[in-house]
């Protein structure tokens, strides 16, 4: 799952259409799919395809809203800026801090996944130690130099796309040849046989929504990336309008292929189904290769998290009048916000602590829930911001307009609220949900007490 700086200093718009198109595709494919799909299928069975389609539609509404605002004002580097403009400075401040925390929690999820991927080869190594070592390495990289982001993510996206295309191609070949595995013959009946909307109860079906939601978070980066191109108004509509096809092919296609190869009732919940499928096919080297692909995908996303979240924190420190934050505005000799990088890395390192807390049964679910909670708040605020934009004099009647916003925007908001509420009914997601609610209440109260 790729992310980018959300509140960065002014930079040259140097991304090409080639970068945007591949990053846009790769940005919709990440740990939520590679790692979380096992849990999701375990919770909902084939009905997971319906959940992906529902949330995919909701996210497309958010993307069209962001796209319409960025199309009207391509000079903005982030949709967060529109919240300050149309909902006020206090709301913008809440959104900025919340988004920084959200991206950091996303990094914790990626780091948690990295620990599990490395254990594929070294099962005896403790996850917390793996996480610390990887985090130190990537933090050091961010403190020494900044790579050419667009080009690097282009190739990382290419790796993820090839991995999914290979999975789908393998599934088609196995299906057409009637390939037999230890679980039986590869057949469509593995997907549709014994279908039930609630195969493990309505509660587990509901729990699947939060994991699927995490698979989509960070998709807003597509809009921000497109806005960074030299011809934003040409690239932006194309990148966003292709999202439904990407969801249909890369998400639904990959999941359907997995369940055709591997009977959904037996898919393990605690490992990547991509790796499990190739192991089932008896191609052990391919399983190792897929594990390497998803490992590099998570490492790439974590590297982007450290880069982008640190720049976001740097911008917050620059804009803040709080004295203790000023130390984070200092730049290193390499002209990098070193202190901001370090504080972001320390926050992300929380995943290593969570990994050894015995009361937390599933660290990955815990941190993805924490990230999802705050993302849901941001997406709701984004749609409210969009509604205020439509009422403003900035509204561009001949711009990149959303279809039927009076219907889709309220429906999407209600959907996000309902998903947020489901988090309180999952024992692993409940604590993060309560924490996010406390964050919202306390931050709002503090902002309300401020004079300006």
pLDDT per position as a tens digit, 265-292: 887 776 777 777 777 777 777 778 878 8
d(CA 18, CA 8): 23
Q: Per-residue pLDDT for 412 more than 70?
A: yes
pLDDT value for 7:
44
Higher pLDDT, 378 or 78: 378
Query: What percentage of residues in the chain have a pLDDT greater than 90?
Result: 13
pLDDT value for 86:
92
Q: Per-residue pLDDT for 6 more than 60?
A: no
pLDDT value for 8:
44
- Average pLDDT score, the chain: 79
Query: What percentage of residues in the chain have a pLDDT greater than 70?
Result: 83
pLDDT value for 1:
44
For residue 251, give every residue at least 6 positions away whose Cβ sits within 8 Å of its Cβ, in sequence order, or none.
28, 33, 52, 56, 215
pLDDT value for 299:
80
Classify the phi-psi angles of 225: left when phi > 0, otherwise alpha if psi is within -120 to 50, otherwise beta.
alpha
CATH of 17-443, one of 1.20.1740.10, 2.40.170.20, 1.10.645.10, 1.10.760.10: 1.20.1740.10
pLDDT value for 23:
62
pLDDT value for 93:
86
Q: Per-residue pLDDT for 2 more than 60?
A: no
Residues forming a β-bridge with 387: none
Q: Per-residue pLDDT for 414 more than 90?
A: yes
* Range scoring the smallest mean pLDDT among 115-119, 280-284, 375-379, 398-402: 280-284
Q: Per-residue pLDDT for 5 more than 50?
A: no
Give mean pLDDT, residues 181-208: 78
Give mean pLDDT, residues 63-70: 91
Does an H or E element contain 138, and which?
A: helix 127-144
Give mean pLDDT, residues 349-366: 67
Q: Per-residue pLDDT for 361 more than 60?
A: no
Considering 10-14, 224-228, 274-278, 398-402, the range whose residues carry the highest mean pLDDT is 398-402
Q: Per-residue pLDDT for 181 more than 90?
A: no
d(CA 297, CA 110): 9
332 three-state secondary structure: coil
Dmax over CA atoms of the chain, in Å, equals 71
Does an H or E element contain 27, and which?
A: none
For residue 363, give every residue at least 6 positions away whose Cβ sits within 8 Å of its Cβ, in sequence order, or none.
112, 127, 351, 354, 355, 357
Q: Per-residue pLDDT for 118 more than 80?
A: yes
d(CA 272, CA 258): 11
pLDDT value for 24:
58
Give mean pLDDT, residues 160-184: 85
Considering 67-81, 258-272, 352-366, 391-405, the range whose residues carry the highest mean pLDDT is 391-405
CB of 23 within 8 A of CB of 158? no
pLDDT value for 230:
66
- What pTM does this model have? 0.81
């Amino acid at each position: 799952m790729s992310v980018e700086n959300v509140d960065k200093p002014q930079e040259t718009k140097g991304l090409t259409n080639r970068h945007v198109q591949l990053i846009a595709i790769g940005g919709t494919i990440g740990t939520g799919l590679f790692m979380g799909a096992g849990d999701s299928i375990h919770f909902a069975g084939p009905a997971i395809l319906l959940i992906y389609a529902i949330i995919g539609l909701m996210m497309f509404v958010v993307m069209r809203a962001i796209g319409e605002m960025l199309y009207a004002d391509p000079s903005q580097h982030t949709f967060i800026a529109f919240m300050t403009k149309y909902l006020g400075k206090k709301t913008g401040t809440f959104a900025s801090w919340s988004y920084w925390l959200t991206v950091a929690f996303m990094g914790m999820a990626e780091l948690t996944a990295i620990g599990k991927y490395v254990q594929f080869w070294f099962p005896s190594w403790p996850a917390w130690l793996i996480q610390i070592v990887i985090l130190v390495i990537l933090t050091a990289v961010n403190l020494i130099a900044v790579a050419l982001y667009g080009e690097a993510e282009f190739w990382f996206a290419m790796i993820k796309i090839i991995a999914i295309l290979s999975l789908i191609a393998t599934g088609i070949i196995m299906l057409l040849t009637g390939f037999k595995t230890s679980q039986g013959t590869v057949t469509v009946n593995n997907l549709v046989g014994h279908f039930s909307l609630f195969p493990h109860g309505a509660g587990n079906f509901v729990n699947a929504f939060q994991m699927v939601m995490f698979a989509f978070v960070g998709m807003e980066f597509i809009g921000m990336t497109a806005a960074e191109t030299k011809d934003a108004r040409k690239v932006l509509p194309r990148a966003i309008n292709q999202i439904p096809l990407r969801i249909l092919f890369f998400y639904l296609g990959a999941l359907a292929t997995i369940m055709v190869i591997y009977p959904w009732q037996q898919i393990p919940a605690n490992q990547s189904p991509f790796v499990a499928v190739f192991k089932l096919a008896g191609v052990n080297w391919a399983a190792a290769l897929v594990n390497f692909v998803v490992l590099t995908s998570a490492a790439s996303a974590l590297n982007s998290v450290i880069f982008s979240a640190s720049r976001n924190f740097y911008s917050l420190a620059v804009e803040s009048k709080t004295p203790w934050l000023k130390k984070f505005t200092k730049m290193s000799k390499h002209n990098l916000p070193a202190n901001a990088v370090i504080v972001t890395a320390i926050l992300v390192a929380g995943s290593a602590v969570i990994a050894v807390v015995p009361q937390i049964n599933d660290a990955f679910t815990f941190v993805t829930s924490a990230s999802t909670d705050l993302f849901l708040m941001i997406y709701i605020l984004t749609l409210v911001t969009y509604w205020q934009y439509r009422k403003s004099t900035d509204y561009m009647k001949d711009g990149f307009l959303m279809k039927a916003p009076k219907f889709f925007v309220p429906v999407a908001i209600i959907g996000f609220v309902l998903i947020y509420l489901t988090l309180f009914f999952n024992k692993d997601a409940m604590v993060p949900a309560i924490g996010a609610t406390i964050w919202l209440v306390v931050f709002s109260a503090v902002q309300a007490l401020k004079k300006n």
